[in-house]
A and B are shown apart, each in its own frame.
Chain A
C-alpha cells in the first residue's frame, strides 16, 4: 500500500540531517525539555506541534543554538548536525546559524532596502566576490523565496514597506541566501492571511527539495498540510514522532489523540 501513497508526500531520502540524543533544556531550575531523542531527516518537512509552553519552540531554538543568547538557559545531551556535535566548543555559532537558518513568527526584515536585506548575510559570510556575484545571489534567493516577480522592480525600496506575507517571504529569501542546509521556522504563518499562508506553504514544499525544514506551528491543519513527519511535544516531552499521515489518522499515544482532536489534554 505504501507504494500507492500520493507522490508529493513521498519522503525523498531517509538520511538523517539532525539527530538529538537525551536532550535536556533548563531555564534556571525549570526543566523545559526532557530526554528528547529525535532524528530529523534531510529534504523533509518536520512539524513540531503541541500546546503553548510544551517546549517545541525551545527545542527548535536548540537546533541552531539560539538559546545561547539566554543566560539562564542550559542545554544538555547531544545534538548532531551531519554527525557533528553542534555544542562542541570548537563550533562557531555564527557559522552554525548560516548553515541552520531561521524564520520567525513575526516578519522581521531589516530596516534596509530589499536588496540589502538579502545581501547582508552573503556579505558578512564572504559568499560573494564582487557586486555581480552578489546580484546573482540576491536574485536567486528572491526567486527561491517566491517573491522575485513582486519585488524585482523595487529592490532599492525598504523591505519594511512590503505587505506582511511579502515580508515573510523576504525573510525566507534572506534565510536561504546564505545557502543553509536546514531551515527552522517558528510559526511562520501565524501573522499572515490565508492567501499569504498558502503562498508560504507552497514555498515550504518547494524548499523541501533542497533543505531539511523544521516548522513549529499552532495550526494542526498546517502541520498536516506541509509536513511529512510530525512530532508532538507535551510538557517538555516528545510524546510521539511519526509519519504525518499516521499521526493525524491513527496516533498511537492518547495524549496526541486528545490534543489533535481538540479534547481537553
Chain B
C-alpha cells in the first residue's frame, strides 16, 4: 500500500470517505453484538428493542457505501491498491450488514426468551461467545485500517474458538432437550442464537480475508483448522 497521496487530492478524500463509513458501520455492529448478547443475559427487553431499531442505521450505511463505491468506480476508475480498497470496502460492508442482521435476530429472540424459564448457564456462555466474536471484529477492523495482514491472519485462526464454543453449546442444548421436553422451545431459540453468532464469526473471518487481499493482492490459502463434526452426528435416544 503506497502511503503517498494522489496527485488529485479529491481522489484521496473519496477513498477516505468510504473507509470512514466502514469504520462507522464497524463501530455500530460491534456495539450491536455486545448489546444483543447483554440484553439476553440481563433479560433486558429495552436494550433488545434498541438493538432491533439500531439495525436500520447499519442498513442505511451499507446502502450509502454501495452508492459511494459505484460513484467512485464510475468517476475515478481506480486500479491496483485503490481498486482493491474499493472492492474490499464493498465486501466488508456486506459482511458487516449481515452481522448486524444476526445481532438484530438475537435481540428479537431475547424478547421471546424472557417469557420463559432461563436455561442454566446458556446466556452467559452465549455472551462469552459474542464477546469473542466482537473482539475478533475489533481486531479485523484494526487490521483493515492499519493494513496489517498478520493481525488479520490471527483473526482468521481465532474463528476456530468460536466454532468450538458453538459445538459445546450444541451438545449442551441437546442434553437439556432430551432431559426435559419443556426445554425444547427455549433451547431451539438459544441454538439459533448460538448458530447465528457462529455465522458472525464466519463473516468476521471473511473481513479478515479481505484485509489480507487488500494488503497483499492475494486471497489467503485455505489452511485454517476446521471444527469437529458435532452438529452432523446423530443422537440416539435411550
Instruction: Give residues in A with beta carbon < 8 Å to B.
Output: 220-221, 224, 248-251, 254, 256-258, 260-265
Instruction: Confirm or deny: B217 has a beta carbon within 8 angstroms of a beta carbon on chain A.
Output: yes
Known interface pairs A250-B217, A250-B218; A261-B77 also in contact (CB < 8 Å): no
State whether A261 touches B8 (Cβ < 8 A). Answer: no
In chain B, what residue has the closest Cβ to A255? B2
State whether B83 touches A249 (Cβ < 8 A). Answer: yes
Residue of A220, A257, A260 contacting most chain B CB atoms (<10 Å): A257
Report the bound CA distance from A261 to B7 in whole Å.
9
State whether B80 touches A248 (Cβ < 8 A). Answer: yes
Q: Select one of A220, A221, A260, A262 contacting B11, CB under 8 A.
A: A262
Known interface pairs A250-B217, A262-B11; A224-B79 also in contact (CB < 8 Å): yes
Instruction: Confirm or deny: B6 has a beta carbon within 8 angstroms of a beta carbon on chain A.
Output: yes
Q: Select one of B2, B11, B80 contacting A250, CB under 8 A.
A: B80
Distance in angstroms from B89 CB to nearest chain A CB is 16
Report the bound CA distance from A257 to B2 in whole Å.
7
Distance in angstroms from A231 CB to nearest chain B CB is 16
Instruction: Confirm or deny: B206 has a beta carbon within 8 angstroms of a beta carbon on chain A.
Output: no
In chain A, what residue has the closest Cβ to B8? A262
Residue of B4, B7, B79 contacting most chain A CB atoms (<10 Å): B79
Report the bound CA distance from A53 to B206 in whole Å.
44
Instruction: Confirm or deny: B14 has a beta carbon within 8 angstroms of a beta carbon on chain A.
Output: no
Report the bound CA distance from A261 to B83 in whole Å.
9
A-chain residues with CB within 8 Å of residue B81 when the two chains form the complex:
257, 261
Distance in angstroms from A125 CB to nearest chain B CB is 42
Chain A interface SS verdict (over half): helix
State whether A261 touches B2 (Cβ < 8 A). Answer: yes
Instruction: Confirm or deny: B78 has a beta carbon within 8 angstroms of a beta carbon on chain A.
Output: yes
Distance in angstroms from B3 CB to nearest chain A CB is 9
State whether A263 touches B6 (Cβ < 8 A). Answer: yes
In chain B, what residue has the closest Cβ to A224? B79
State whether A261 touches B217 (Cβ < 8 A). Answer: no
In chain A, what residue has the closest Cβ to B77? A221
State whether A261 touches B82 (Cβ < 8 A). Answer: yes
A-chain residues with CB within 8 Å of residue B218 when the two chains form the complex:
250
B interface bracket (residues with beta carbon within 8 Å of A): 10 to 19
A-chain residues with CB within 8 Å of residue B108 when the two chains form the complex:
none
Instruction: Confirm or deny: B84 has a beta carbon within 8 angstroms of a beta carbon on chain A.
Output: yes
The 10 closest A-B pairs by CB, nearest first: A250-B217, A263-B4, A248-B79, A261-B82, A261-B80, A262-B6, A257-B80, A257-B2, A263-B6, A251-B80
B-chain residues with CB within 8 Å of residue A260 when the two chains form the complex:
79-80
Report the bound CA distance from A220 to B83 in whole Å.
14
Chain A to chain B contacts (Cβ below 8 Å), 24 pairs: A248-B80, A249-B79, A249-B83, A249-B84, A250-B80, A250-B84, A254-B2, A258-B4, A260-B79, A260-B80, A261-B2, A261-B80, A261-B81, A261-B82, A262-B6, A262-B7, A262-B8, A262-B11, A263-B2, A263-B5, A263-B6, A263-B7, A264-B5, A265-B4
A-chain residues with CB within 8 Å of residue B82 when the two chains form the complex:
261
B-chain residues with CB within 8 Å of residue A261 when the two chains form the complex:
2, 6, 78-82
A-chain residues with CB within 8 Å of residue B79 when the two chains form the complex:
220, 224, 248-249, 260-261
B-chain residues with CB within 8 Å of residue A265 when the two chains form the complex:
4
Report the bound CA distance from A251 to B11 in whole Å.
20
In chain A, what residue has the closest Cβ to B78? A261
Known: A248-B83, A260-B79. 13 other contacts (CB 8 A): A220-B79, A248-B79, A249-B80, A249-B84, A249-B217, A250-B217, A251-B80, A261-B80, A263-B2, A263-B4, A263-B6, A263-B7, A264-B4
Distance in angstroms from A254 CB to nearest chain B CB is 6
Report the bound CA distance from A249 to B82 in whole Å.
9
Residue of A248, A261, A262, A265 contacting most chain B CB atoms (<10 Å): A261
User: Which residues of B from 189 to 221 have beta carbons under 8 Å from A?
Assistant: 217-218
